[in-house]
């Protein structure tokens, strides 16, 4: 029996962070993430560009996030369900377009301002080429979303102690879901005590051999790549048509790599 129950490098667990609104505290949070080797996705509102007069200032704003993922959060941070269609579409596509001018890559991730969405908003995301979006609803669990556009996180950072304890206590167990997903806003860190608490949170889940530290889009790309792998009826030959290397587990003991674009026959 084969299972795509392993992640890049043959890791069995995933940790990801997701921060909204692009506050002036983001560079310090990124420094913290870099110190501990963890990855984050930063959901930005391009309304900040309205106050910036020259291109280099906008570029410097987006360059703060190099090494992590830049994603959408709409231009002006309104309530998506309360916007007429034209405003909703402009808020999504213009945020994408303005961020992409400086990232150099397609920006196709998002989080909902105020956690606000409905079926109409989901359709608008798809129409604007956005492939996933995070909500603000904590699951206190570690699963993948059924619909990437309704991606519920594990918890907010202020509620992370218990989920982290659960995650760590089961880190070598086969019988658990794999992904710890923590979200928040860096503008919530107002005092040195707040920063110290966040550092403690990050340090508890950093540097673990079992964990793949990834941005949101890396997780999306990887899981989608596993779903595209074609497997022969005898479970021996695997074709990976994607541009992402995929790992597969056999009989809960052996782990194999199926490189991007390759067909592999297992021994």
Nearest residue relative to Zn ion (C-beta): 20
Q: Is 95 in the site for Zn ion (CB under 5 A)?
A: no
CB-based burial, 65-91: b 16+ in 10 Å, e otherwise: beebbbbbbbbbebebeebeeeebebb
Q: Is 21 in the site for Zn ion (CB under 5 A)?
A: yes
CA 83 centroid distance within chain: 26
Q: Would you say 23 or 242 has its CB closer to Zn ion?
A: 23
Q: Using CB under 5 A, which of the segments 110-118, 155-163, 215-223, 253-261 binds Zn ion? A: 110-118
Q: Using CB under 5 A, which of the segments 107-115, 143-151, 153-161, 254-262 binds Zn ion? A: 107-115
Q: Is 26 in the site for Zn ion (CB under 5 A)?
A: no
- Least distance to Zn ion from the beta carbon of 43, Å? 7
- Interface residue with Zn ion among 12, 20, 40, 72 (CB under 5 A) is 20
Output phi, psi for 190, to 5 deg.
-100, -25
- Least distance to Zn ion from the beta carbon of 72, Å? 11
CA distances from 227 to 212, 220, 240, 242 (A): 19, 11, 9, 10
Q: Would you say 156 or 250 has its CB closer to Zn ion?
A: 156
- Least distance to Zn ion from the beta carbon of 52, Å? 19
Pairing between strand 132-134 and 109-111?
A: parallel
Q: H-type helices in the chain, by residue range?
A: 26-36, 55-63, 85-103, 119-127, 161-169, 192-205, 216-228
Q: Is 91 in the site for Zn ion (CB under 5 A)?
A: no
Half-sphere exposure of 161 (CA within 13 A, CB side): 3
Q: What residues have CB less than 8 Å from 160, skipping those under 6 apart?
A: 154, 182, 201
Q: Using CB under 5 A, which of the segments 19-27, 61-69, 193-201, 247-255 binds Zn ion? A: 19-27
- Least distance to Zn ion from the beta carbon of 124, Å? 17
List residues binding Zn ion (CB under 5 A): 20-21, 113
């Amino acid at each position: 029996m084969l299972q795509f129950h392993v992640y890049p490098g043959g890791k069995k667990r995933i940790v990801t962070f997701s921060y909204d609104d692009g506050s002036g505290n983001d560079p310090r949070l990124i420094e913290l993430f870099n110190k501990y080797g963890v990855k984050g996705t930063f959901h930005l509102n391009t309304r900040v560009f309205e106050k910036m007069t020259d291109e280099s200032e906008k570029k410097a704003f987006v360059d703060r996030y190099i090494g992590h993922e830049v994603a959408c959060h709409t231009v002006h941070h309104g309530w998506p369900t309360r916007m007429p269609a034209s405003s909703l579409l402009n808020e999504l596509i213009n945020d994408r377009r303005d961020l992409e001018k400086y990232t150099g890559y397609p920006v196709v991730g998002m989080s909902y301002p105020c956690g606000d969405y409905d079926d109409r908003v989901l359709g608008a995301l798809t129409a604007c080429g956005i492939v996933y979006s995070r909500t603000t609803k904590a699951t206190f669990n570690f699963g993948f979303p059924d619909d990437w556009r309704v991606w519920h996180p594990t918890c907010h950072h202020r509620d992370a102690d218990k989920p982290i304890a659960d995650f760590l206590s089961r880190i070598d167990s086969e019988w658990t879901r794999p992904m710890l997903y923590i979200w928040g806003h860096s503008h919530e860190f107002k005092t040195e005590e707040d920063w110290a608490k966040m550092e403690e949170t990050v340090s508890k889940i950093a540097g673990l051999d079992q964990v793949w530290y990834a941005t949101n889009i890396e997780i999306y790309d990887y899981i989608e790549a596993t779903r595209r792998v074609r497997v022969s009826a005898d479970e021996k030959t695997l074709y990976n048509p994607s541009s992402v290397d995929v790992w597969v587990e056999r009989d809960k003991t052996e782990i194999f790599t199926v490189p991007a674009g390759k067909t592999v026959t297992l021994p």
